[in-house]
Amino acid sequence: MQQQAQIAVLGVTGYAGAELARLLLRHPRLAGASPLFLGREGSARESLTAIHPQLAGLSQDQLCVEPFSWDLLTSRGVKVLFLATPHEQSRKLAPEALSRGLRIIDLSGAWRLNDSANRAVYKFSDEASLAATKAQSQSVYGLPELHRGDIAKAQLVANPGCYATSIILALKPMVAAGWVDINRGIVCDAKSGVSGAGKEPTAKTHFMHAADNLSAYGVFGHRHTGELLEQLNLPSDAITFTPHLLPIPRGILATIYVTLREKRTAEEIETCLRGFYIDSPMVRIHAAGHLPHIQHVVRTNFCDLGFQLAPDGRRCIVISCLDNLLKGAAGQAVQNLNVMNGWQETEGLL
């Protein structure tokens, strides 16, 4: 079993990038081999702790963010490249990285979707290119709870979206069991902290708009919708997903409404959830009627699932909570790194 892998991270200035750097600097398998942190090609070399002072003291090395170059990756013997970059940049970089034999964990939405109709929301300029088509064919959706075996062998892992992770994990066990009445529709009402919108401030994410407020956005058009459809194998009209901006720094709570095809007991539903995730240490199942809270998952890599069954035994509400920057981004990326290298899935995450 491989004990170490030389790691590089491109894109550490954002919130997810900072969390990724923190986790990798503390990862027991990377002790003595600090990751290579990279900025844009041609950018100035700068101190990592000048960008993120909270990372001071996590390494004995004087860590810097180096300007990106393929030659630098080669000279440092990099084997695994994290891309914490915008979608279009990941589309340009991943095919080249694959041609150089690198294994890639991409935190953007560049390679998550196999269906071109679902990818259309991103308006990728290289949609028809041979390089993009080849890279997409090599991509594995990076949700370990669903695709652990494929991730272990993958060259390109597409880290899932944060909303998508929370909803897919909540729905997959009962959908896979055939218990959900798809014809009645599924409603997903999800709320995320402001960090989910990224570090670049906008008119809708600055304090005066977000504080003391709650707002819906991306109605019938959010980028994560395609992930739900593909990973749950649902038709486009089977699910209604509405995200909301919650006035807290981080965390997601998704409330999911389903109708069951047949009457079930709470014990049956709990058994279904626990059985599906019996080998998934990052998913915690609450007992029937005990619902998870954001405050219990924030700054962890856990996804907490709970549910309440109506007295009629057919209407069920599932609650899913996770930290959008960890299980929804950087923590999940490290979880994928562990799987790819045959390490314990929870290493560096507990």
CA torsion sign for 56, 60, 65, 70 is: negative
The reply to whether 144 and 177 lie within a common domain is no
pLDDT tens-digit readout, 204-263: 788 888 889 999 999 998 999 999 999 999 999 999 999 999 999 999 999 999 999 999
CA distance 135 to 124: 14
Is there a domain that residue 190 lies in? yes
- pLDDT bin (cut points 50, 70, 90) of residue 5 is low
Is there a domain that residue 349 lies in? no
pLDDT tens-digit readout, 278-314: 999 999 999 999 999 999 999 999 999 999 999 999 9
The pLDDT of residue 318 is above 80:
yes
The catalytic residue positions are 162
The reply to whether 139 and 170 lie within a common domain is no
Q: Structural domain tally of the chain?
A: 2
The reply to whether 169 and 308 lie within a common domain is yes
pLDDT tens-digit readout, 106-120: 999 999 999 999 999
> Model pTM?
0.95
On whether the CB atoms of residues 81 and 73 are closer than 8 A, the answer is yes
Spatial CB neighbours of 75, under 8 Å, sequence gap ≥ 6: none
The reply to whether 168 and 35 lie within a common domain is no
Report DSSP state, residue 247: S
> Residue 254: beta bridge partners?
190, 320
